[in-house]
Structure 1
Amino acid sequence: MLRVGGTHEAVVMTLRRVNVVILVLLALAFLIIVQRNLLNLSDFLHKENTDAGVVLPFESELSPDLRLEPRKGEEIPVLITAAEDRLGAVVAAMNSVYSNSKANVVFHIVTLNDTVDHLKVWLSKTTLKNIKYKIVIFKPELLNGKISKEPQTLDAEKPLTFARYYLPLYIPEAEKAIYLDDDIIVQGDIQELYEITLKPGHAAAFSDDCDSVSAKGIIRGAGNQNNYIGFLDFKKEAIKKLGMRANTCSFNPGVIIANLTEWKNQNITGQLKHWKELNTKEDLYSNTLAESVTTPPLLIVFYKRHSTIDPMWHIRHLGLTGAGNRYSPQFVKAAKLLHWNGHYKPWGRTSSFTEVWDKWYIPDPTGKFHPVRKHIGDK
């Protein structure tokens, strides 16, 4: 009996050891699977962000004063691009936003590698040191072969104009964000713009170009840029199949209020990239009157699927010939946001209302950027 009992106990002990070994092996296998999945997820996220031109982690610098007394309340993400030859514009736009609001604004500045050092000096050596910002590096080589290189398409040579396509990837933690062109001055409280309500299912809000206020800015030389036919070639089969009406009022994507959750759910970025790349093969809009390769994909994707912005929050066409004759000084003063879209920029010699822009411009501490102004005796 003792021998039988001893044999039984030995068997039990052996089975227990086997079970322990099996559990250990299963645990190791589980850990290996988890590790591989995490690595795959990391690779996926890296690929997704790299494809969009984002270099992570974000580079962020806050001034000492800001760390001591930060602005309170919900963060308002504002994305703006910063090209080297237009840094003065970015500075003026950011200064106007920050100075006219007490909101907790965080600027997401999308720029190129060769501009970062110049930008940092401007942000740290001037009154802009009090702002909160993040710098994102855009990779222009990712657009190679994906946009038209026709000479007349001006923004084909300005890769940063495509940054607005990738809003959720630049600001992944936010549910809502504002995009601003750099040739803008904000005179109202940006909090008011941010709180505009988008309709259910809408991923963005824009200013329609046919609204009564903007119509005043459609001046000689603007042509049909207030409707879809000015941006798209309706003779092309791919455009015909969409069933869009050529006389539909267009919108200006220089100011965007974006619902980033809807943007991601609807894969807006993927849709925009599709139409951008299709244009290189079928020339759907490169030769249109508008001479733009950035706006048409937005018009297609958001056709009758966008909310609207209060017209006073996007007074446009200040950069077109004769705009100064269309807007009174009183009207410009009352506007909440001014946009110098067009060839004549407020840092140039021939623009209208340069004195409004000058109010917010901060001189370049490096001396590289200088607004061009008429001098006494100039004709």
Structure 2
Amino acid sequence: MFKCTEEKMTWFIEISSFMITISIVIILAYPFLPSYPPAEAIKSSDSNPDPLFNYKQSPNFKNSPKCSIIPTSSISTKICNPSLVHISMTLDIKFLRGSVAAIHSIHQHCHCPENLFFHFISSDTNLEPHLEKIFPFLAFKIYYFNPGIVQNKISSSIRQALEHPLNYARNYLADLLEPCVERVIYLDSDIIVVDDISNLWRISLGSTTLGSPEYCHANFTNYFTPKFWSHKKFSRAFHGQRPCYFNTGKIVPIDQRWNQHGLGGDNLGGSCRNIHAGPVSLLHWSGGGKPWLRLDSGNSCPLDELWARYDLHG
């Protein structure tokens, strides 16, 4: 979760690829997930629709009676409305299926879905009409990200996805979003939210710019060589320390339930993995394996079936 301020921009640039995602409460009891009317197929006059954009239309989610009434207003007014929950994601043709499922899951578990506003970052210029067909009720704006900004700053990686310029657009949120947006939740495209996103929105960051879920069950012995651990000066740095990690920088730690990560398996093989111990609010398929690809190949992992509940691809 970011507070977008101009003076903090130099800090944002230092943030690397493993980013934030969030939600609260134990909701892993799959059979008890709420059911909603089936999504409607999007009607098209094209007899040969592009399979990349073959999506069903999402149900129109409405606020529950307990929600504060947000007057109907134009998109330009909603962008700056601090009473709304502001969410930012990237939009890319290759990961569009993941983004659509993520948006669907957020609305399905939100008590006040009409109080959400999405800020999408994209390097494609033709995704807006497709998004409007899938989510005709969605309040959103798409901001263009010039890939040339980071094109020559990216090191090679064992995962090709990490070399995609749009992967680093999150570091420029303070420059890309409207200046009136002072607070935003950033979510990756390979996540599913199974809790009310408002619970995350209400977490206070105090005077800190960034909040991120921390993971405190890492085995750091695997991160360094035996030669490192045999050096007393180096190994002493970890003495008495909790094995927690998150992104670089100083940040407010948020409960790991908001980023049950690693479900995409290792970076090379994309092996199946289970969630970490504890409550679950957000499931994150970080790693080499993406649920939609594994499902289409007929070689899915158990948790991929949960992701499939939110898949709107035709």
TM range (shorter): 0.5 to 0.7
Q: Distance in 2 between matches of 1:140 and 1:250?
A: 33
Of 88, 96, 115 in structure 2, the residue corresponding to residue 87 of structure 1 is 96
Q: Which residue of structure 1 aligns with residue 118 of structure 2?
A: 107
Equivalent position of 1:363 in the other structure: 313
Q: Secondary structure at the match of 1:130?
A: coil
Partner of 1:125: 133
* Alpha-carbon distance between aligned partners in 2 of 1:248 and 1:165, rounded to the nearest angstrom: 27
Instruction: Kindly state the Cα deviation for residue 250 of structure 1 after the two structures are TM-superposed.
Output: 5.4
Q: Which residue of 1 aligns with 2:194?
A: 187
- Say if 2:214 and 2:255, in contact at 8 Å, map to a contact too: no
SS in 2 for 1:125: helix
The match for 1:177 among 176, 179, 184 is: 184
Between the two structures, name the one with larger relative contact order (CA 8 Å, sep ≥ 6).
2
Flag the structure with larger Rg.
1
**Could you tell me the percent identity over the aligned residues?**
27
What residue ranges of structure 1 are gaps of 5+ in the alignment?
1-44, 53-64, 235-243, 253-297, 365-379
More helix as a share of residues: 1
- Deviation, 1:120, is 2.5
Which amino acid in structure 2 is aligned with residue 78 of structure 1?
A: I
Q: Is the 8 A contact 2:150 2:168 kept in 1?
A: no
Q: Could you tell me whether the CA contact under 8 Å between 1:318 and 1:340 is conserved in 2?
A: yes
* Paired letter, 2:209: A
Q: What is the root-mean-square deviation of aligned Cα atoms in Å?
A: 3.6
Describe how 1:85-234 pairs up with structure 2 within 5 A.
85-101=94-110, 102-103=112-113, 104-113=115-124, 116-117=125-126, 119-126=127-134, 128-148=135-155, 150-152=156-158, 154-171=160-177, 172-200=179-207, 202-210=208-216, 215=217, 224=220
Match of 2:293, SS state, is: coil
Match of 1:338 in 2: 283
Q: Distance in 2 between matches of 1:353 and 1:74?
A: 34
The gaps in structure 2 that reach 5 residues or longer are 1-5, 14-60, 63-69, 229-236, 266-270, 295-299
Give the TM-score taking structure 2 as reference length.
Answer: 0.60
1:131 is paired with a residue whose SS is: coil
- How far does residue 73 in structure 1 lie from its aligned partner after superposition? 7.6
CA distance 1:224–1:345, change in 2 (3 Å): farther
Tell me, yes or no, if the aligned pair for 1:319 and 1:352 is still in contact at 8 Å. no
**Aligned residue pairs: how many?**
220
* 1:182 maps to amino acid: S
Asked whether the 8 Å contact 2:102–2:310 carries over to 1, the reply is yes
